[in-house]
Amino acid sequence: MTTQAEELLGARVTGADHKVVGTVEQVFRDDVDGTPAWARVRAGKTGRFVPLGNSQFTRDGLSVPFDSEKIMSGPDIAAERHMSAAQAEELSRYYGLTVPAQTGRQDQLQQQQQQQQLQQQDQRGQLRDEWLTRSEERIDVGTETLETGRVRLHKYVDTEPVEQAVHVYHEEYDVERIPITAEERLRGVIEESEMEVILHEERAVLRKEAVPVERVRLVTKRVDEDRTVRDEIRRERIEIEPDQQLSGIGRSRDQRGR
């Protein structure tokens, strides 16, 4: 897999059974060629490792040729920033990968280191009689991308009282009295009768409806900044220690020794 480790971080991991396992939390490189070899998948509160050798990375995420149950049943490896050879061998045996090939690569790396040490020893032996080699450490600062936290949006329902003035009316009854004229007095009849009126009033009627007012979502933005990295490096220093009896004889012009 030639994909960069930074591209894999946060990718969705899907097993061979087309089930989503989780997202890539961290990528571990091979000790020999430095290519991405293992990915730790975060599934809820647990983390499991998947091999990247036969995996495929697309726009939809990382597709692993193992089903989700196989991945979630894998060994619980406690690796922080570097995976040891024993941990890589344990994972390779679990997934049925070729362990001897990996072991051979480790042996090849060890042999190269031993050859370099032997060459350095030979060079030191040849120059021991004539020269002193002064060495110093150099610092190489790199960067890595890690998950620092998660932010979620949660929608709640709050209830609050509201007041609004509404203009309404209601009817009341009143009694009107009008004197009888002279003509009406001549036709008077004594009998029982009644009159009825209907009173009305307006009342406020409430209706509720849900109205969308805005859209809210979470987005990430990249903030570039400069940070100062502090550490200590070792540097060899060569000083001239003259013999006390011959301190004034044969003094070299260059006594810096650095």
pLDDT value of residue 121: 66
Element (DSSP H or E) covering residue 20: strand 20-29
C-alpha torsion angle, residues 160, 165, 168, 174 (rounded to 10) = 110
User: What confidence score (pLDDT) does residue 256 get?
Assistant: 46
Query: What pLDDT is attached to residue 199?
Result: 93
**Per-residue pLDDT reduced to its tens digit, 120-145:** 666 555 545 578 888 998 888 888 88
Q: Which residues are CB-contacts of 60 (< 8 A; sequence separation ≥ 6)?
A: 12, 14
What secondary structure does DSSP assign to 80-139, as a single string?
Answer: SS---HHHHHHHHHHHT--HHHHHHHHHHHHHHHHHHHHHHHHHHHHHTTT-----B---
pLDDT < 50 positions in the chain: 100-103, 127, 255-258
Just give the CATH number of 5-97.
3.90.50.10
- Assigned token pair, 135: 């060495």
Q: Identify the pLDDT of residue 100.
A: 47
pLDDT in tens, 29-56: 887 777 888 888 888 778 888 888 888 8
Kindly list the strands in the beta sheet with 36-43, ordered across the sheet, starting from the edge strand earlier in the chain: 46-51, 36-43, 20-29, 12-14, 61-63, 56-58
Q: Is 187 helix (H, G, I), strand (E, B) or coil?
A: coil
Of 195, 151, 203, the closest CA to residue 176 belongs to 195
